Amino acid sequence: MSNHPSHLKILTDNDIDHVEFTDRNILEESIIQAIGDELSAIIESRPTPKLLINFSNVEHLSSAALGTLITVNNKIRQKGGQLRFCCIDTNIYEIFVMTKLNMLFKIYDDIEQATNSFQ
């Protein structure tokens, strides 16, 4: 296991993994790769993953980061899990709308709404 710092803050509440990004800008390939690896590890460790990703710290997101989120979504669906996003900055949300990813992902305004949406 490499000793690079985590780019995620993870808190498990009941069977839901709450994930927050520690970086304000998710633009660099190495950071995106590390985030993808960390999220994959969480998904692999759960029989039916329930992942809530909180974007409250994030100001900038690259298209490569969006690609990683799509991969994460596919992995969760393969395991019959659920993925929710919350607290997305208006500017970032516009990217989701332009790329039609707001149709793919379940996006909520706040943590409470997102948490309550899990089945």
- Report the Cα 21 to chain-centroid distance in Å: 8
Q: What is the mean pLDDT of the chain?
A: 95
* 50-54 vs 82-86, strand pairing mode: parallel
* pLDDT number for residue 112: 97
Angle between helices 29-44 and 63-78 (to 10 degrees): 10
Residue 73 amino acid letter: N
Q: How many whole angstroms separate alpha carbon 64 and alpha carbon 73?
A: 14
Secondary structure, 3-state, the chain: CCCCCCCEEEEEECCEEEEEECCCEECCHHHHHHHHHHHHHHHHCCCCCEEEEECCCCCEECHHHHHHHHHHHHHHHHCCCEEEEECCCHHHHHHHHHCCHHHHCEEECCHHHHHHCCC
Between 27 and 3, name the one with better pLDDT.
27
User: Can you give the residue ranges of every domain in the chain?
Assistant: 8-116
Give 5's pLDDT tier (boundaries 50, 70, 90): confident
Rg of the chain over CA atoms, in angstroms? 13
- pLDDT (tens digit, 9 = 90+) per residue, 19-77? 999 999 999 999 999 999 999 999 999 999 999 999 999 999 999 999 999 999 999 99
Q: Which CATH number fits domain 8-116: 3.30.750.24, 3.90.1150.10, 3.40.50.10210, 3.30.479.30?
A: 3.30.750.24
- pLDDT (tens digit, 9 = 90+) per residue, 82-109? 999 999 999 999 999 999 999 999 999 9
